[in-house]
Chain A
Amino acid sequence: MTNTPLPSAMSGTLTAPAAGGFWHILGRRKSASKPPEDTSAKRVQFNSPLLPYLFLAPQMAIIFIFFYWPSVQAIQSSFYLEDPFGFGSTFVGMANYTDVLKSGEYLGIARFTAVFTALVTFFSLAIGLLLAVKADGVIRGNATYKTLLIWVYAIAPPVAGLMGMMMFDQHIGPLVKFAAFFGWDIKVGLDYSDTAFAMIVVSVWKQIPYNFIFFLSGLQGIPVSVREAALMDCRSGFRRFWTVILPLLAPTGFFLLIINTTYALFDTFGVIDVMVKDKAANNPITLVYKVYMDGFRGNDLGGSSAQSVILMIIVFVLTIFQFRFIERRVHYS
Chain B
Amino acid sequence: MAAINITNVSKIYAGGVEAVKSVSIDIADGEFIVLVGPSGCGKSTLLRMVAGLEAISKGTVEIGDRVINTVEPAERDIAMVFQNYALYPHMTVYNNLAYGLKNRGTPKAEIDARVAEAARMLEIEQYLTRKPRALSGGQRQRVAMGRAIVRKPAAFLFDEPLSNLDAKLRVTMRGEIKQLQKRLGTTSLYVTHDQLEAMTLADRLVVLNGGQIEQIGRPLDVYHTPASTFVASFIGSPAMNLLRATRDGPRLHFGSQVLESDRLSALPAELTVGIRAEDLRVARTGEQSLTVKVDYIEELGAQRLVHGTVDGKKLTAALSPEIALAETVALTIAPSRLHFFDVTTGKRLAQAPDGLGGRREVANTLEAAVG
Contact = CB atoms under 8 A, between A and B. Distances in A.
A233 B90 contact: no
Given A36-B133, A234-B99, A234-B103, A229 B82 contact: yes
Contacts of B176: none
Contacts of B353: none
Contacts, number: 67
Interface residues of B, number: 27
Interface stretch (B68-76, B250-258, B314-322): B68-76
A223 B80 CA distance: 16
Contacts of A226: 86-89
A250 B88 CA distance: 14
A248 B90 contact: yes
B99 A243 contact: yes
B233 interface: no
Interface in B53-72: 53, 72
Given A226-B88, A228-B53, A235-B75, A333 B82 contact: no
B280 interface: no
A35 B103 CA distance: 28
The binding surface of chain A is classed by DSSP as: helix
B83 interface: yes
B78 interface: yes
B79 interface: yes
B74 A232 contact: yes
B5 to A, nearest CB: 20
A230 B53 CA distance: 11
A40 interface: no
B162 to A, nearest CB: 15
Contacts of B76: 232
Nearest to B157: A232
Contacts of B74: 231-235
A231 B53 contact: yes
B100 interface: yes
A269 B79 CA distance: 54
Interface residues of A, number: 22
A233 to B, nearest CB: 4
A9 B52 CA distance: 60
Most B CB within 10 A of own CB, among A229, A230, A244: A229
Contacts of B309: none
Interface string A150-162: 0000000000000
Contacts of A228: 51, 53, 73, 80, 82, 86
A230 B82 contact: no
Interface in A194-249: 223, 225-226, 228-236, 239, 243-244, 247-248
A232 B84 contact: no
Given A225-B83, A235-B74, A247-B90, A333 B133 contact: yes
Contacts of A225: 82-86
B89 A333 contact: yes
Contacts of B75: 235
B127 to A, nearest CB: 15
Contacts of A248: 89-90
29 contacts: A223-B84, A225-B83, A225-B85, A225-B86, A226-B87, A228-B51, A228-B53, A228-B82, A228-B86, A229-B80, A229-B87, A230-B88, A231-B73, A231-B74, A232-B73, A232-B76, A232-B78, A233-B103, A233-B147, A234-B100, A234-B103, A235-B103, A236-B103, A239-B103, A243-B99, A248-B89, A250-B90, A331-B131, A333-B90
Given A231-B52, A234-B99, 5 more contacts: A229-B82, A232-B73, A232-B76, A233-B147, A236-B103
Q: Which 6 A-B pairs give the minimum distances between C-beta atoms? A: A233-B100, A225-B86, A331-B90, A333-B89, A235-B74, A229-B86
